[in-house]
């Protein structure tokens, strides 16, 4: 996916990374011609800049935000990298009229103080802990691609003096497909019931653990915002906002001057999507989970929020990837074309690169870490969504990305249980938290 650095009030084509096709598309625009783009997960209207005044006929290689897109773009701190893609014609929103173009939005949520605080080791309970990580499909997968209709879960039991094997597998949501889902509804498993049942099955298989830590790659808490509509699959500028947790994380990113921050593209977490709300409510009511920062401290089953991009950035900024480059650490995220197969050891190497930084943090579990990585390899090599039928070739893409990031979420859960984690939060715990590895 293409990424762009927020350096100015406009987007310069030279600041777009891995976006040759997108740059070509934007270069073909004439001055003042507009295009719908999704920038940092927010859809907005952008227009090609006018030719240079001092050299008529010489194009200015940049685009400027229009209307609410201007507000969303300015809210991104300078130096931060965010995703940028062109919006398909079918998803283009209605164009703003003269009365709404350029409207400045006013948010009433108090600005948070910046906090990155350590998880205290004495929060860990005695006995065994079941740690779980989930790569969560916010909308239950795509309407068009049945293979995307999965959540991915990784889990293992950690003991005071050892660990159990790790399992990683997909949870099929396809049977709960809703072909009539509205834009604010999930395409599959809208009430998160399929996933909750899978979690319940895993809990039943481990009845003697004293603590459960479940890390989910999704925003879990957000303060009510009366000025924002219900979250939609088609995200339009002005309909989403960063929570205090994301503002705190963004402030931390602004203090980092390394290339690692390119890996942490922050998406606005408020309002929560409907499937996330159902997951949090269902886990609390059916399985007695408490959300960290809300009511989890007194409960043996804790639900925490993580973000793989934050994990990679923070591990890299802390020096835990050693001499490895940013590109090598994130090589698993490359979205390869369908026919771009490669020898499977290359894919496994990219996965191992992404995990390397966690090994440096899990100082008491390094032997277990090595076993967990070993446990994952045959699971990847047996996955038909990743492996070619000939058994020699494999490919990256979303199926691999989901599996890797479920394991990353699992690693964050282990770091939390071991007391080796940090938290980004604001001055209101009800506006979310982001937990990452290392202190």
Between CA 165 and CA 76 the distance in angstroms is 41
Question: What's the burial of 29, exposed, middle or buried (CB within 10 Å: 0-12/13-18/19+)?
Answer: middle
CB 132 within 8 A of CB 206: no
Q: Per-residue pLDDT tens, the chain, 439 aa: give them.
A: 688 888 888 999 988 887 788 888 898 888 888 888 888 877 788 999 988 777 767 889 999 998 778 878 887 888 788 888 887 654 445 544 433 333 222 223 333 344 455 444 335 456 789 999 999 999 999 888 888 999 999 999 998 766 789 999 999 999 999 999 998 999 999 999 999 999 999 999 999 999 999 999 999 999 999 988 999 887 777 788 999 999 888 888 888 888 898 899 888 999 999 999 999 999 999 999 999 876 556 689 999 999 999 999 999 998 999 999 999 999 888 755 444 788 999 999 999 999 999 998 887 778 888 999 998 989 999 999 999 999 899 988 888 999 999 999 999 999 998 888 999 988 888 899 999 998 7
What's the full length of the chain, in residues? 439
pTM over 0.75: yes
Strands 115-118 and 150-159: unpaired
Between CA 361 and CA 411 the distance in angstroms is 10
Structure confidence at residue 276 (pLDDT): 97
């Amino acid at each position: 996916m293409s990424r762009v650095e927020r350096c100015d009030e406009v987007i310069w084509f030279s600041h777009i990374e891995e976006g040759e096709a997108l740059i070509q598309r934007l270069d073909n625009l004439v001055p003042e011609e507009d295009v719908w783009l999704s920038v940092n997960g927010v859809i907005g209207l952008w227009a090609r800049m006018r030719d240079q005044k001092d050299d008529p006929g010489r194009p200015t290689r940049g685009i400027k935000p229009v209307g609410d897109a201007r507000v969303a773009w300015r809210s991104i701190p300078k130096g931060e990298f965010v995703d940028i893609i062109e919006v398909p014609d079918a998803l283009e929103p209605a164009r703003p009229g003269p009365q709404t173009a350029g409207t400045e939005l006013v948010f009433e949520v108090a600005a948070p103080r910046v906090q990155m605080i350590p998880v205290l080791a004495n929060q860990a309970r005695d006995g065994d802990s079941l740690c779980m990580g989930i790569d969560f499909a916010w909308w239950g997968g795509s309407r068009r691609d049945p293979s995307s209709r999965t959540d991915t879960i990784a889990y293992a039991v950690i003991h005071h003096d050892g660990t159990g094997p790790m399992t990683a597998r997909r949870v099929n949501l396809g049977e709960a497909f809703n072909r009539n889902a509205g834009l604010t509804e999930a395409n599959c498993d809208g009430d998160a019931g399929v996933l909750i049942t899978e979690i319940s099955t895993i809990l039943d298989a481990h009845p003697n653990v004293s603590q459960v830590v479940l890390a989910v790659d999704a925003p879990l808490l957000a303060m009510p915002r009366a000025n924002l509509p219900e979250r939609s699959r088609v995200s339009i500028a002005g309909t989403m906002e960063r929570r205090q947790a994301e503002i705190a994380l963004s402030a931390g990113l602004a203090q980092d001057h390394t290339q690692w921050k390119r890996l942490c593209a922050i998406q606005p977490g408020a309002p929560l999507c409907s499937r996330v709300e159902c997951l949090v409510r269902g886990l609390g009511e059916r399985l007695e989970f408490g959300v960290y920062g809300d009511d989890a401290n007194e409960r043996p089953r804790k639900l925490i929020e993580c973000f793989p991009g934050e994990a990679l950035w923070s591990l890299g900024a802390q020096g835990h990837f050693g001499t490895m480059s940013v590109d090598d650490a994130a090589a698993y995220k490359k979205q390869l074309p369908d026919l771009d197969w490669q020898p499977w050891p290359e894919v496994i190497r990219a996965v191992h690169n992404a995990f390397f930084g966690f090994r440096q943090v899990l100082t008491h579990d390094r032997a277990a870490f090595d076993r967990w990585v070993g446990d994952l390899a045959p699971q990847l090599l047996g996955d038909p969504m990743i492996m070619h039928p000939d058994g020699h070739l494999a490919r990256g893409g979303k199926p691999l990305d989901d599996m890797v990031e479920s394991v990353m979420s699992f690693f964050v859960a282990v770091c939390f249980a071991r007391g080796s984690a940090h938290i980004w939060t604001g001055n209101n715990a009800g506006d979310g938290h982001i937990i990452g590895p290392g202190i």
